[in-house]
Amino acid sequence: MPLSRISLCAGTTRAYRQAICDSVNDALSATFDVPADDKFTLVHEHEAENFHYSGDYLGVSRSGALVVIQVIANNTRPLDQKKRLYRRITELLGENPGVRPEDVFINLIEVPRENWSLGYGLAQYA
């Protein structure tokens, strides 16, 4: 049950944002074994003056088309699976909607299974 938060500069099309959501969800299904109907994705658009980032941190040349993806998921996956997720998200975003690999910033936050309530005030995974 991941929750994905996607941040980018305002001004993109609905189709562009949908392609990003689809790519992230497809990568989660392919690498984290997330069911296809388990889609919880929030898109945050920011005006350029409210979207700050280092354009060359760690030798990565980022542009104004930077897409920041934060995935909150259960802390149950090994390092190699996480690396596959990062790689697959970047590949799929490159294919559609055409995001440069340098403009894909991913942050994974892992939480214990009991930290979710998916409705009714229940801790379904506890």
Query: Strands 67-74 and 41-46: what pairing?
Result: unpaired
**Contact indicator for 76, 19 with CB cutoff of 8 Å:** no
Residue pLDDT, tens place only, 43-84: 999 999 999 999 999 999 999 999 999 999 999 999 999 999
Average pLDDT value for residue range 5-19: 98
The whole-model pTM stands at 0.96
| Per-chain mean pLDDT for the chain | 97
Q: Which pLDDT belongs to residue 70?
A: 98
Give the alpha-carbon dihedral of 107, 58, 94, 76, to 10 degrees. Answer: -30
CATH of 3-115, one of 3.40.440.10, 3.30.429.10, 2.60.40.1180, 3.40.47.10: 3.30.429.10
**Half-sphere exposure for 10 (CA within 13 Å, toward CB):** 6
Confidence (pLDDT) at 1:
84
Among residues 13, 105, 15, 25, the alpha carbon closest in space to that of 66 is found at 105
Spans of all domains in the chain: 3-115
The percentage of residues in the chain with a pLDDT greater than 90, rounded to a whole number, is 98
